[in-house]
Structure 1
Amino acid sequence: MSLEFTPDPLLYPFESRWFDSSRGRIHFIDEGPTSATGPPILFCHGNPTWSFLYRDIIAALRDRFRCIAPDYLGFGLSERPSGFGYTIEEHARVVGEFVDHLGLDGYLTMGQDWGGPVSMAVAVERADRVRGVVLGNTWFWPTDALTMKAFSKVMSSPPLQYAILQRNFFVERLIPVGTQHQLSSAVMEHYRAVQPNPAARVGVAEMPKQILAARPLLQRLAREVPATLGAKRTLLIWGMKDFAFKPGPMIPRMRATFPDHVLVELPDAKHFIQEDAPDRIATAIVDRFGTV
């Protein structure tokens, strides 16, 4: 299943590109000169978003960095292939294929929400090719927090799965409560349009189940991220009003994992930091990695 939707070039002023992975066709953007003064950056989104989430950050950085943002299978403009399970392990394998296809070397990796586990799963297997790490409002270890476990169980229940698939619950309810300011109708339409019907939302519906179901992968990342990536130069960017990834329990573990880090707190930002503070994020990336 593919989508017939063309983003507004005023909101998403990028050329759409495509990669035929072993599991399905991926949409991505690749902006900025390959000879950019800064290293390439791989931007990994979460749920229920797509590369559109990073649009303002990429527009601000593409003169200095090569900015690459894929849509996972089942998200954005990428295919919804039959037979794909939409697990985090599968997403990571496909994104890894994509990174290898582009031949990325000396790259920065940025992840938010599920983009954290996906980007880290890709990076631990290519640690010698990773120049630096950017993480914000995310995690990469098995959750023991009662709130996250409860969220996973509730969102996996038949009534909420119905709401996600039939009512587009994640877009209609969670994006608005996860942003500091009300998004414009045009921006919201770009999140709605890539999930026009229940068949297009299967990947979105699977991700909350993965909070618990992906425990084996998260256990592995909890060991391998500190071992293989812990010494990398790191930028931590946190929306301090996030209801899902509260700074109190999350930031200390991130700081302990990456000793060579800079922490940028976004005092008013909620979960979707790319919508709430794109300029601050772009500036922080330039300050941390612009002269690498």
Structure 2
Amino acid sequence: MLIDFTPDPTLYPFESRWFDSGAGRVHYIDEGSGIPILFCHGSPTWSFIYRKIIGALGDRFRCLAVDYPGFGLSERPPGYGYTIAEHAAVVGELVDHLGLDQFVIMGQDWGGPIGAAVGAERADRVRGLVFGNTLLWPTDTWPQKAFSRVMSSSPMQRRILRDNLLVERFLLAELRDTISAAEADHYRAVQPSPEARRGIAAMPGQILSARPFLERLATEVPARLGATPTLLVWGMKDMAFRPGSFLPRMRATFTDHRVVELPAAKHFIPEHEPGAIAEAIVQRFL
């Protein structure tokens, strides 16, 4: 199943590209020239969330952003499990297909562990890392565990599939004063039906069920990527990834890190502070 939607070129002025991964057909963009930077989105978003950062960096970086299967314009393949491990494998396939070398990875929300897993398997090819409002280990905070259990329950899964709950009540409710109505519609348009929403519906459960994957990541990232130049950009008003709970461990994971605090930003930082993030990337990696 592919999504029948063409983004508005005034909002998403990028050429759509396609890659036939082992899991199914995935959509990505590849814009600009210079140091490659791979953008890994979270849930329930897609590559659209990085459009303003890419627009600011395209004259100095080669910017790539992929939609995982089940997200954005990518296929909803039959038999796909929508696990974090599967998403990381698909992104890794694309990285190898494109022959990316000495590239930077940016990951926010679930894009953090997905991008980190891709980088840990290709550590000799990674130039730098950018992480924001994410984690790279199994969660031990009760709010996140509770969120996972509640959102994985049958009643809430029905609401996610029927009412697009994750997009409407979590993403767009946070961004109601940040993005336009047309931009909000771009998040709705790629999740048009219950069948199309199975990918985003699976993500809350991954908070707990991906624990073995995240346990491996907690060991592999410090061992393989711990000395990699890293930029941490953090929305300081994020209630899901509170800076006091998550930033200390992120700092401890990477020996060569810089931190940029975004005082007014909540969770979806590429929408709240794209200019500040783009400038921090330029200062760190150029």
Query: Quick one: which of 258, 268, 277 aligns to 1:262?
Result: 258
For 1:150 and 1:186, the matched residues in 2 are separated by 33
Maintained 8 Å contact 2:226/2:255: yes
Maintained 8 Å contact 2:178/2:271: no
For 1:286 and 1:192, the matched residues in 2 are separated by 31
For 1:182 and 1:158, the matched residues in 2 are separated by 32
Q: Name the residue aligned to 1:27.
A: 27
For 1:201 and 1:6, the matched residues in 2 are separated by 18
The superposition leaves residues 113-157 of structure 1 with CA deviations (integer Å, 9 ceiling, x where unpaired) of 000010011111000000101000000101110010000000001
Maintained 8 Å contact 2:172/2:184: no
SS, match of residue 40 in structure 1: strand
Q: Name the residue aligned to 1:193.
A: 189
Instruction: Give the superposition deviation at 1:13.
Output: 0.4
Instruction: Give the superposition deviation at 1:180.
Output: 7.8
For 1:121 and 1:108, the matched residues in 2 are separated by 13
Instruction: Give the superposition deviation at 1:181.
Output: 2.9
User: Is 1:69 equivalent to 2:65 in the alignment?
Assistant: yes
Q: Name the residue aligned to 1:6.
A: 6
Maintained 8 Å contact 1:180/1:269: no
Q: Name the residue aligned to 2:155.
A: 159
Instruction: Give the superposition deviation at 1:240.
Output: 0.3
For 1:144 and 1:239, the matched residues in 2 are separated by 20
For 2:179 and 2:53, the matched residues in 1 are separated by 16
User: Is 1:215 equivalent to 2:211 in the alignment?
Assistant: yes
Instruction: Give the superposition deviation at 1:178.
Output: 3.4
User: Is 1:87 equivalent to 2:88 in the alignment?
Assistant: no
Query: What residue identity is the alignment partner of 2:3?
Result: L
Query: Quick one: which of 144, 148, 161 aligns to 1:148?
Result: 144
Query: What residue identity is the alignment partner of 1:224?
Result: E
Instruction: Give the superposition deviation at 1:184.
Output: 1.3
Q: Where does structure 2 lack aligned partners over 5 or more consecutive residues?
A: none
For 2:178 and 2:127, the matched residues in 1 are separated by 35
Maintained 8 Å contact 1:180/1:276: no
The superposition leaves residues 2-40 of structure 1 with CA deviations (integer Å, 9 ceiling, x where unpaired) of 01100000000000000000110000000012xx2xx20
Instruction: Give the superposition deviation at 1:176.
Output: 2.9
Q: Where does structure 1 lack aligned partners over 5 or more consecutive residues?
A: none
The superposition leaves residues 161-196 of structure 1 with CA deviations (integer Å, 9 ceiling, x where unpaired) of 011100000110101343483421101100000000
SS, match of residue 242 in structure 1: coil
TM-score, length-normalised on structure 2?
A: 0.99
Q: Name the residue aligned to 1:96.
A: 92
Q: What is the aligned length?
A: 286
Query: What residue identity is the alignment partner of 1:22?
Result: G
Maintained 8 Å contact 1:178/1:243: no
User: Is 1:202 equivalent to 2:209 in the alignment?
Assistant: no
Detail structure 1 runs of 4+ shifted over 2 Å in the superposition.
Answer: 176-183
Query: What residue identity is the alignment partner of 1:85?
Result: G
Q: Name the residue aligned to 2:39.
A: 43
Taking a change above 3 Å as real, the CA distance of residues 278 and 132 of structure 1, as seen in their structure-2 partners, is same
Instruction: Give the superposition deviation at 1:284.
Output: 0.3
What RMSD, in angstroms, separates the aligned Cα atoms of the two structures? 0.8
For 2:183 and 2:5, the matched residues in 1 are separated by 14
For 1:251 and 1:158, the matched residues in 2 are separated by 33
Maintained 8 Å contact 1:41/1:109: yes
TM-score, length-normalised on structure 1?
A: 0.97
For 1:239 and 1:181, the matched residues in 2 are separated by 16
For 2:176 and 2:158, the matched residues in 1 are separated by 27
User: Is 1:109 equivalent to 2:105 in the alignment?
Assistant: yes
Q: Name the residue aligned to 2:240.
A: 244
